[in-house]
A and B are shown apart, each in its own frame.
Chain A
């Protein structure tokens, strides 16, 4: 498995992929965090879906990562696209047959791919966290947000917890992408279906019946990223989201290990 991870990392470290992915992640992290502080007095809200996040919330110990936790869902979508593309491209390029000739253990290939992509996603999350926290620190004085509690022991604990939660969410989104890549065997189809579902279909379903959001996968992963919400608890999101991730992983692994490689 270790060799598979190293081989996958060789593919992932190409400059266009690294710079493109990090560029998108950092852009969203910077944008969302900047809006949070720059629009703090805007009557239309400064958070997700017009939510108002005031100074009293941002001055808490978790204030430095409030912006970062909000960007978790977008980082998740980026991870979904990367994981899906990296998996499905093996079919479109026909390279899967090369991989399987050099490493016939199909589950080892899958596991190695997942670990390598997870490492890639972790780096993306850590960079985004650094940028988001940096921007928060830089913009807090201008937005008149006290930062006294941000780097206390409670503040650091909040930072670590948020990074872990975002990481769990991002890898969860990535696993969905990987599964879609395996099922659909085309990067374009996998990314289209994944993004369409997570961004549009879940939101439409939520708009029609809000309680549906408690049971939809993307909503659970978003909730994990922000550490729980008023309507969905963290533990509920972990259980339901985890069940989705495990379920789709099993389906994808069974398909991948049994399906003929005929292209």
Chain B
């Protein structure tokens, strides 16, 4: 038994002349929460579909829970998944929809109500799916993914349509599942959420992996950013020009100048700004967060 929940080597998918996923390699350790990020069209959903045996791969190989992705029947009974949003039968109730899947998978039917309660849909179990709000549909999708009491949970944008409270609940749910040994492989555009809950990260760009590993390694490898702001808006351009003239790359973002430099260079910038007649109202050295790193690495500003 290996210590990996997912392992892919040179995995590729080609549609016609277009490589949707190109020779990607990454591992997800058992019991980890692994974020799966990338701009739209970068190949996240295609990769998840290949891992679930929904689409064939055109190259490379993959293992899920120690079985080849060519034999999904060997591992799918231990995998819960919600890909590309929830998909259910509109005329059936939430409970009936889950019962269809529970019957199909051979899971106990009495688990349905427990899961509906767990995702906060206990009192709407008998309402038809077509009457659910987007957030409720999303919760039902998560409940469906939890039906097999999964060893590996694969979720594609699970927080879409959820309100802040719902997002927080999903975050807590995923963390508690991971604490109980479930591996969670989750894609999301809410990078700040992923930064909070993920141990590992796989970052895709145009079908290729640009980073795969521990999230702290990614952030530590990034250069510090000094965020500076003057009293006037016109000061931003001057601060930018001071930083670049001293050999540091800098950009203006959200009415702040982001200078790529080590933290101790902040005092030099402060002095130079003072000499140029600028009073800085903000001077904050910080490590870039996941969102900034994502933009940096994917070039998706």
Residues of A within 8 A of B (CB): 3-4, 6-7, 10-11, 14, 16-17, 89, 93-95, 97-105, 260-262
Are B101's CB and A94's CB within 8 A?
A: no
Per DSSP, chain B at the interface is loop
* B89 in the interface (beta carbon within 8 A): yes
Size band of the interface chain B makes with A: 20 to 34
Q: Among B52, B84, B90, point to the contact of A101 (Cβ < 8 A).
A: B52
Q: In the bound complex, how far is the Cα of B112 from the Cα of A10, in angstroms?
A: 14
Are A99's CB and B73's CB within 8 A?
A: no
Are A101's CB and B76's CB within 8 A?
A: yes
Q: Which residues of B contact A93 (CB under 8 A)?
A: 87-90
Per DSSP, chain A at the interface is helix
- Ordered by A's residue number, 23 sampled pairs between the chains whose C-beta atoms are within 8 Å are A3-B105, A7-B103, A10-B96, A14-B91, A17-B91, A93-B87, A93-B89, A95-B88, A97-B52, A97-B83, A98-B88, A98-B101, A98-B144, A100-B52, A100-B53, A102-B105, A102-B147, A102-B148, A103-B105, A104-B72, A260-B56, A262-B49, A262-B55
Q: Among B79, B81, B92, B144, point to the contact of A14 (Cβ < 8 A).
A: B92
* B104 in the interface (beta carbon within 8 A): yes
Which positions 130-156 of chain B face chain A at CB distance < 8 Å? 144, 147-148
Q: In the bound complex, how far is the Cα of B159 from the Cα of A221, in angstroms?
A: 51
Q: Which residue of A lies closest to B52 (CB)?
A: A101
* B100 in the interface (beta carbon within 8 A): yes
Q: In the bound complex, how far is the Cα of B73 from the Cα of A4, in angstroms?
A: 15
Which positions 38-82 of chain B face chain A at CB distance < 8 Å? 49, 52-56, 72-73, 76, 79, 81
Least Cβ–Cβ distance between B299 and chain A, in angstroms: 27
Q: Which residues of A contact B101 (CB under 8 A)?
A: 7, 98-99, 102
Q: Which residues of B contact A101 (CB under 8 A)?
A: 52, 54, 76, 79, 81
Q: Which residue of A lies closest to B88 (CB)?
A: A95
Given A7-B100, A11-B89, A261-B49: A105 in contact with B73 (beta carbons within 8 A): yes
